Amino acid sequence: MKRQKPVECFNPFEFLSEEILFTILDCLDENPLDKKSFALVCKSFYIAESRHRKTLKPLRSELLTAILNRYPCITHLDLSLCPRITDNTLIVVSALCKFTLHSIDLSRSKFFSHVGLANLVLNCSSLLEIDLSNGTELTDSAAVAIAAAKNLEKLSLARCKSISDSGIGCIAVGCRKLRVINLKWCLGVTDFGVGLLAVKCKDIRSLDLSYVPITNKSLPSILQLQYLEDLVLVGCFGIDDEGIATFSRGCPSVERLNIASCQNVGHVGLSSLTNGARNLRQLILAYGSPVTPALAAALQKLSKLHSIKLDGCMVTCTGLQAIGNCCASLRELSLSKCPGVTDEGLSSLLLKHKQLRKLDITCCRKITHVSIANITTSCTSLISLRMESCSLIPKEAFVSIGECCHLLEELDLTDNKIDDEGLKSISRCSELSSLKIGICLNITDEGLTHVGMSCPKLIELDLYRCAGITDLGIAAIARGCPRLEMINMAYCKDITDSSLISLSKCSRLNTLEIRGCPSISSVGLSTIAMGCRLLTKLDIKKCHNINDVGILPLAHFSQNLRQINLSYCSITDVGLLALASISCLQSINMMHLRGLTANGLAAALLACGGLTKVKLHSSFKPLLSKPLCEHIEARGCVFHWRDKAFQADNSKGWKLQLEDMP
């Protein structure tokens, strides 16, 4: 009998070109699991997916070699989630990404030195961007190493407090192509270092000198940068009106200027902007000098100015009226925490700026329904309205927001008197993606149901301490808002497992805050774990009915979990050890876990290799051996010890407190 030849399986997918496969992969960016599934189809798909990926953000540095071998075409490497990056790690990166790497982010990584940086820069000649923010231990030697990156265009040294003028001078001489540089909180840098940068790096477009101890002497050289568009001088206390007057010599390229918290800059200095910075589009004066008619007059000739942020400034009615008269093309206005904002001043401004797109009046506690009436009649094109804690606005006023501002995408009504009628009206804003109604004590399921029925694009919902919300309202949100990614139901006392069962259908959910919900148990948490595989942040503090039974499925299904708060839960060593199997887990808050022992804690800490932050009661500190703590800290983890007494639930006290609120 003749042996039959084996039948070769015909796989049509193998004949698809790489160009077609790349086009398919371009459409799979929303869910990272989709690309993993794509790679499992066949060998050609696996290879195409590995060559298509250009950006990588690993969680564990010890797996970096295998990952970079798997993805050989990486151009952007983000190591900010890897707390321990050594010189050897950077040597591996420079060897495996020698010809492709354009950008590397080391903004939260430690344990490397100038040796690793020098190797990286030497081998990766195509490197264009380096982020070394928070490198508090980096010195001028690191700056010398960076200076060898001749093609570097973007560099962040924010909070590199040990780098001085000497290091900055080396970078200025070596990195002549720099376009963007961030020196925020570089306390060792002075006028001399900034002057060297301005003289040598002529192509700088963006310069952040926030909290750098510079004086007026720096500004003449900075303003000679003919391509400078974005200048940030937050908290530069050595700069005053005399320094800002330098703008009068001409700086036509500057479009964005941030001089927040520069207490010594007033209308005298700002008047210089009208002559030299005529192309200014955004001006941030937050927490600075009072807003007076003189200051507004200083801005009169800035015809292209479309964004002003005055957060925390003392404003007057006449000052706001003057801004309304002087700035003709405003699109964005921020008056957050400005104590002098009144109906008269705000209304006069709004009447002159009917094309306003973004308005922030957070904590403007003097405004009433009069201001809301002017907002809704004059500013119907608003896409963002923030008005947290505007306590004098009556519930009836919120109805007009929904009737007139249909284009709203972001709405913050935290701590206001809005009720179900107002929420029903606001549900007409079908473009809403972010809605914050925390501490709004007059809303119930009825109002929330209208939001669920009419706002399908909702991504973020904050219901913090909304005492009138139950499972019915949450069910309506889950049914009508399939794009939901974040929901905060903390201290919503009537929420039960039914709400979590409903939300488990929201497959994009990544942030869930349910602290202080006593009726939620392990049953609800298990359902969330199985349905919401993209969960990255979870707060179940004071959910006393959640125990190991709920944690075990969470550990199995929620492999993307990075941050969890377990404080006051009924979790033991078994549950904590299960969580330690999640390779992505980086932050755990576990205060007052009565079922936790020192041995169980030690085992979990050893098993969870990616931890960067652990919050514990100080009573555990003497129970953990010193070598163990040193080992965990050497991996890049920081312990936060708290000597905080156990807090029993006091829901009655909270409700009484709410009743006393105005």
CA atoms within 13 A of residue 474's CA, in its CB half-sphere: 30
H helix runs in 2-152, sequence order? 18-26, 32-39, 43-52, 64-70, 87-96, 114-123, 140-146
pLDDT over threshold 70, residue 649? no
Instruction: Give residue-wise pLDDT tens across range 49-97.
Output: 889 889 999 988 888 999 999 999 999 999 998 888 999 999 999 999 9
Return d(Cα 479, Cα 657) in angstroms, integer: 34
Which residue would you say has higher pLDDT here, 597 or 250? Answer: 597
Over residues 632-646, mean pLDDT: 91
Q: Are 225 and 200 in contact (CB under 8 A)?
A: no
Task: Select from 323, 289, 293 the least CA-distant residue to 305.
Answer: 323
Q: Which residues contact 225 (CB under 8 A, 6 or more apart)?
A: 198, 202, 204, 207, 253
Instruction: Give residue-wise pLDDT tens across range 472-488.
Output: 999 999 999 999 999 99
Other CB atoms within 10 Å distance of the CB of residue 263: 12
Spell 7-16 as b/e; 16+ CB within 10 A means b: eeeeeeeeee
pLDDT over threshold 50, residue 639? yes
pLDDT over threshold 70, residue 180? yes
Cα torsion 129, 130, 133, 138: sign: negative
What pLDDT does 7 receive?
53
What DSSP string describes 125-170? TT--EEE-TT-TT--HHHHHHHTT-TT--EEE-TT-TT--HHHHHH
Over residues 5-25, mean pLDDT: 72
pLDDT over threshold 60, residue 660? no
Q: Are 583 and 610 in contact (CB under 8 A)?
A: yes
What pLDDT does 656 receive?
39
What pLDDT does 295 receive?
82
CA atoms within 13 A of residue 197's CA, in its CB half-sphere: 30
Backbone angles phi, psi at 138, to 5 degrees: -75, 140
Residue 464 Cα distances to 51, 94, 488, angstroms:
44, 47, 6
pLDDT over threshold 90, residue 278? no
Q: Which residues contact 325 (CB under 8 A, 6 or more apart)?
A: 296, 352
Tokens 């306003």 found at: 356
- 3-state helix, strand, coil split of the chain in percent (to 5) is 40, 15, 50
Backbone angles phi, psi at 385, to 5 degrees: -135, 115
Question: pTM here?
Answer: 0.91
Return d(Cα 87, Cα 323) in angstroms, integer: 54
> 471-480 vs 445-454: helix axis angle to the nearest 10?
0
Tokens of 281: 């589009």
Q: Are 266 and 289 in contact (CB under 8 A)?
A: yes
What mean pLDDT value characterizes the chain?
92
Backbone angles phi, psi at 430, to 5 degrees: -70, -10
H helix runs in 506-559, sequence order? 522-531, 548-557
Task: Select from 147, 80, 136, 79 the least CA-distant residue to 113.
Answer: 136
What pLDDT does 175 receive?
97
pLDDT over threshold 60, residue 115? yes
> 397-404 vs 369-378: helix axis angle to the nearest 10?
10
Tokens 């907002």 found at: 375
**What letter represents residue 179's amino acid?**
R
pLDDT over threshold 60, residue 662? no
Q: Which residues contact 618 (CB under 8 A, 6 or more apart)?
A: 641, 642, 643
Q: Are 618 and 592 in contact (CB under 8 A)?
A: no
Three-class SS string for 160-206? Answer: CCCCCHHHHHHHHHHCCCCCEEECCCCCCCCHHHHHHHHHHCCCCCE
What pLDDT does 89 receive?
95
Return d(Cα 553, Cα 534) in angstroms, integer: 14
Q: How confident is the model at residue 648 (pLDDT cuts 50, 70, 90)?
A: confident
Q: How confident is the model at residue 653 (pLDDT cuts 50, 70, 90)?
A: very low
Which residue would you say has higher pLDDT here, 384 or 654? Answer: 384
Q: How confident is the model at residue 2 (pLDDT cuts 50, 70, 90)?
A: low
Q: Are 246 and 220 in contact (CB under 8 A)?
A: yes
CA atoms within 13 A of residue 615's CA, in its CB half-sphere: 16
Give CA torsion, residues 574, 579, 582, 583, to 10 deg.
Answer: -90
User: Angle at the Cα of 100 (from 169 to 106), degrees rounded to 5?
Assistant: 50
Return d(Cα 30, Cα 656) in angstroms, integer: 45
Instruction: Give residue-wise pLDDT tens across range 340-368.
Output: 999 999 999 998 888 999 999 999 999 99
Instruction: Give residue-wise pLDDT tens across range 437-461.
Output: 999 999 999 999 999 999 999 999 9
Over residues 538-563, mean pLDDT: 96
Backbone angles phi, psi at 384, to 5 degrees: -140, 125
Q: Are 170 and 144 in contact (CB under 8 A)?
A: yes
> 87-96 vs 114-123: helix axis angle to the nearest 10?
10
Q: Are 148 and 124 in contact (CB under 8 A)?
A: no
What DSSP string describes 447-484? HHHHHHHH-TT--EEE-TT-TT--HHHHHHHHHH-TT-
